[in-house]
């Protein structure tokens, strides 16, 4: 095991490594969204590929890199490799984007192409990222105490991730650009690698013997691997659900997503440190892991209650955001609210990882294989939770039943571990068998009762977002639905005006002044060109702008590019009277996709292109106000 005096230095190295990794993640996601789009499908592909690469890296390193190499040297080479790929992606993305645009399409083949594009760009560097923790694991013993140190490394890596998330989201990407952010991350990688090489030169490494023959696993280890996988599933699945709700409350901006991610990572990091301390001292880490998973049921129920029944109605004056001082105050307030709601669950998920490491620890097993197996199981679960939560659960079950499912899954995870832990105790003391069974049954019953307390996202929050508490009773919300990319609502005011809500605010209405604006955009679109036979409207909204385009006799074909599949059916039902039934008009074709991605990959040309009034501060919409996007639009005009 490494000398204890070097552990603080290693912790700092992991802070720097984690900071660089989160900067890369934010930059790469931004770069690739410009190529494959920013729809929920594209984001799911990106997240699944990023985490999949880390999973594979954690599994491959102990199998392909022998124990005769100094762990710090291996770690340093991995950091150098990550830096090299960071620069390669930055400078190669324009060429890669052009190649993708030439062959990009829609449908199943288009989805496969998006996956391949994400894999080509993200798998090489994320394989190296996933290998860093198993690489350094060989510098500690595969005992509960040694594994607890790895939990501290894991927590330090997450702490660095918090810094990277805040640094990239609130400074580097706002004040500078993606190139500067990449250079900062590359510099961090090089500094970390250099320091690791220096430390390797000053420390001895006692090579552990290679494992031979059949790998012997700790008794009941399968339950730990399954449980930590389910823990990853509930963590990322819940984070996706909570992010959707908090973005309604805070506003669906890029800064909101960075803030939520930073708070979540902060909880994971602090929880990991506490869990590591417990893992190094407890004689029964499995018992601690089981109760940690069971406590998560209560923590998730707490978060759900806060997000749906408490936070939206806090007596806060939303007008404070109007000044520069108010913006800073609002940021602090949003941090407090996010911490208040999410921190307990995030901390428990963070504590679960070092407890799982200690639960499978074996004195004669390669530490890298132990860490790689637990890390891979956790990451596989996280992939399932992130992709399933963003693409499947919300659509099929809705946020209420999805959160209930997460609580039940966490309870199952707890029961698996507790059953294994109590079985060991029961073998020593037979009279505890019956008591243990009753305890497990009671814990499961409690989890079911907690799941029943979960409520869905309030209609008024979907409609008015941050202003929900000030709009109670103002209008009747006659529809609310949760889609892949956004939640949509329709309300009717006392004077009969219909309002279309998206991203927690009114995006369109049947008020006379709104109708004039929306229809003017459509009419100007067809009046300016000489012969507007083929027209494109970006964003459906309430369909009024597209409807104004459709009634021009010169328009033969009208294409609407809408990112949210739920929107056309909703506006067709509630706004047909105001949008000239544009959705069901025979000349209308609705294309469900990110507008930027659609224009980059289509071969179609249009005589006129316009956009529904979109707020540039909403995440994703800002890309439609860039010079690059307008150049793409120009190429698609006849």
On whether both 169 and 237 belong to a single domain, the answer is no
Note whether residue 23 is domain-resident: yes
Note whether residue 98 is domain-resident: yes
On whether both 81 and 184 belong to a single domain, the answer is yes
Segment 476-484 shows an average pLDDT of: 89
On whether both 181 and 253 belong to a single domain, the answer is no
Report whether pLDDT(319) > 70: no
Burial environment of residue 444 by CB neighbours within 10 A (0 to 12, 13 to 18, 19 or more) = middle
Percent of the chain with pLDDT over 70: 89
Segment 79-84 shows an average pLDDT of: 95
Strand order in the sheet with 475-482: 475-482, 487-493, 498-502, 505-509
How high is the mean pLDDT of the chain? 84
Note whether residue 627 is domain-resident: yes
Q: Are strands 498-502 and 487-493 parallel, antiparallel or unpaired?
A: antiparallel
On whether both 201 and 237 belong to a single domain, the answer is no
| Structure-model confidence comparison of residues 289 and 332, the more confident one | 289
| Domain end position, chosen among 409, 429, 456 | 456
On whether both 113 and 186 belong to a single domain, the answer is yes
Listed residue (279, 236, 219) closest to 55, CA to CA: 236
CATH code for the domain of 553 = 3.40.50.150
Q: How far is CA 581 from CA 99, 121, 501, 557, 571, in A?
A: 39, 43, 19, 15, 9
Note whether residue 194 is domain-resident: yes
On whether both 307 and 443 belong to a single domain, the answer is yes
Q: What pLDDT digit, counting tens, does each position of 253-278 carry?
A: 778 888 888 999 999 989 988 988 88
Look up the pTM and report it. 0.86
On whether both 56 and 154 belong to a single domain, the answer is yes
Q: Which helix (H) or strand (E) holds 489?
A: strand 487-493
How far does the chain reach from its first CA to its final CA, in angstroms? 69
Note whether residue 517 is domain-resident: yes
Backbone angles phi, psi at 505, to 5 degrees: -155, 165
On whether both 196 and 250 belong to a single domain, the answer is no
Q: Taking a C-beta distance cutoff of 8 angstroms, is the pair 420, 286 a contact?
A: yes
Return all residues near 295 (Cβ < 8 A) that are at least 6 apart. 348
Note whether residue 443 is domain-resident: yes
Q: Residue 67 CB: number of other CB atoms within 10 A?
A: 16
| Domain end position, chosen among 173, 205, 237 | 205
At residue 40 the predicted structure's pLDDT band, cuts being 50, 70 and 90, is confident
- Confidence at residue 146, expressed as pLDDT on a 0 to 100 scale: 66
Note whether residue 504 is domain-resident: no
Residue owning tokens 């391949």:
116
Q: Taking a C-beta distance cutoff of 8 angstroms, is the pair 422, 289 a contact?
A: no
On whether both 196 and 258 belong to a single domain, the answer is no
On whether both 446 and 299 belong to a single domain, the answer is yes
Note whether residue 352 is domain-resident: yes
Return all residues near 466 (Cβ < 8 A) that are at least 6 apart. 249, 250, 251, 318, 321, 504
Number of domains in the chain: 3
On whether both 189 and 230 belong to a single domain, the answer is no
CATH code for the domain of 187 = 1.20.1250.20
- Confidence at residue 575, expressed as pLDDT on a 0 to 100 scale: 93
Structural domain range at position 10: 1-205
On whether both 166 and 269 belong to a single domain, the answer is no
- Confidence at residue 563, expressed as pLDDT on a 0 to 100 scale: 86
Question: CA-to-CA distance for 245 and 304, rounded, in angstroms?
Answer: 10
Q: What pLDDT digit, counting tens, does each position of 420-462 carry?
A: 777 665 555 455 555 666 767 777 788 888 888 888 888 888 8
| Domain end position, chosen among 205, 232, 258 | 205
Alpha carbons within 13 angstroms on the beta-carbon side of residue 476 total 6
């Amino acid at each position: 095991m490494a000398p204890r005096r070097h552990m603080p230095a290693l912790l700092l190295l992991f802070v720097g490594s984690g900071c660089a990794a989160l900067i890369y993640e934010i930059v790469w996601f931004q770069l690739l969204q410009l190529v494959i789009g920013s729809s929920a499908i594209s984001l799911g592909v990106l997240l699944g590929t990023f985490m999949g690469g880390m999973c594979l890296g954690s599994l491959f390193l102990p199998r392909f890199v022998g124990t005769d190499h100094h762990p710090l040297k291996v770690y340093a080479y991995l950091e150098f490799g990550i830096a090299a790929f960071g620069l390669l992606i930055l400078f190669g993305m324009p060429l890669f984007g052009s190649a993708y645009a030439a062959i990009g399409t829609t449908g199943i083949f288009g989805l496969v192409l998006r996956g391949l594009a994400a894999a080509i760009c993200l798998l090489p560097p994320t394989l190296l990222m996933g290998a860093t923790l198993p690489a350094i694991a060989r510098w500690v013993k595969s005992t509960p105490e040694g594994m607890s140190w790895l939990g501290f490394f894991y927590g330090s890596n997450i702490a660095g991730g918090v810094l990277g998330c805040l640094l990239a989201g609130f400074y580097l990407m706002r004040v500078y650009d993606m190139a500067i952010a990449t250079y900062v991350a590359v510099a961090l990688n090089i500094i970390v690698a250099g320091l690791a090489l220096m430390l390797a030169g000053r420390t001895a490494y006692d090579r552990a013997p290679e494992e031979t023959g059949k790998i012997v696993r700790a008794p009941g280890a399968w339950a730990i691997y399954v449980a930590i996988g389910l823990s990853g599933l509930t963590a990322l699945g819940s984070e996706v659900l909570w992010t959707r709700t908090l973005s309604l409350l805070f506003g669906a901006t890029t800064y909101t997503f960075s803030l939520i991610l930073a708070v979540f990572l902060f909880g994971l990091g602090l929880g990991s440190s506490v869990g590591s301390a417990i893992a190094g001292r407890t004689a029964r880490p499995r018992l601690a892991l089981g109760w940690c998973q069971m406590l998560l049921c209560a923590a998730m129920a707490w978060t759900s209650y806060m997000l749906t029944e408490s936070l939206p109605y806090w007596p806060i004056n939303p007008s404070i955001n109007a000044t520069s001082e108010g913006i800073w105050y609002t940021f602090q307030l949003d941090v407090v609210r996010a911490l208040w709601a999410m921190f307990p669950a995030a901390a428990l998920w963070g504590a679960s990882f070092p407890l799982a490491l200690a639960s499978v620890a074996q004195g004669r097993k390669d530490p890298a294989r132990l860490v790689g197996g637990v890390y891979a199981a956790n990451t596989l679960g996280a992939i399932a939770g992130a992709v399933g939560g963003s693409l499947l659960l919300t659509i099929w079950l809705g946020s209420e039943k999805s959160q209930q499912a997460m609580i039940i899954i966490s309870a199952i995870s707890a029961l698996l571990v507790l059953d294994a832990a109590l079985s060991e105790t029961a073998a020593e003391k037979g009279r505890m068998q019956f008591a243990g069974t009753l305890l497990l049954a009671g814990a499961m019953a409690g989890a079911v009762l907690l799941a029943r307390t979960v409520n869905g996202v309030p209609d008024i929050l979907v409609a008015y977002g941050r202003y929900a508490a000030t709009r109670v009773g103002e209008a009747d919300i006659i529809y609310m639905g949760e889609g892949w990319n956004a939640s949509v609502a329709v309300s009717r005011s006392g004077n009969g005006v219909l309002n279309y809500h998206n991203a927690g605010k009114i995006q369109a209405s049947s008020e006379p002044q709104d109708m004039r604006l929306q229809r003017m955009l459509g009419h100007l679109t067809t009046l300016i060109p000489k012969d507007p036979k083929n027209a494109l409207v970006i964003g459906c909204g309430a369909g009024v702008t597209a409807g104004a385009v459709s009634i021009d006799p010169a328009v033969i074909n009208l294409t609407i590019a809408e990112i949210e599949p739920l929107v056309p059916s909703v506006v067709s039902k509630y706004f047909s009277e105001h949008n000239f039934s544009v959705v069901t008009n025979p000349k209308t074709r609705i294309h469900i996709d990110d507008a930027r991605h659609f224009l980059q990959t289509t071969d179609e040309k249009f005589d006129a292109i316009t956009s529904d009034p979109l707020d540039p501060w909403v995440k994703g919409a800002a890309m439609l106000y860039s010079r690059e996007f307008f150049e793409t639009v120009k190429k698609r005009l006849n």
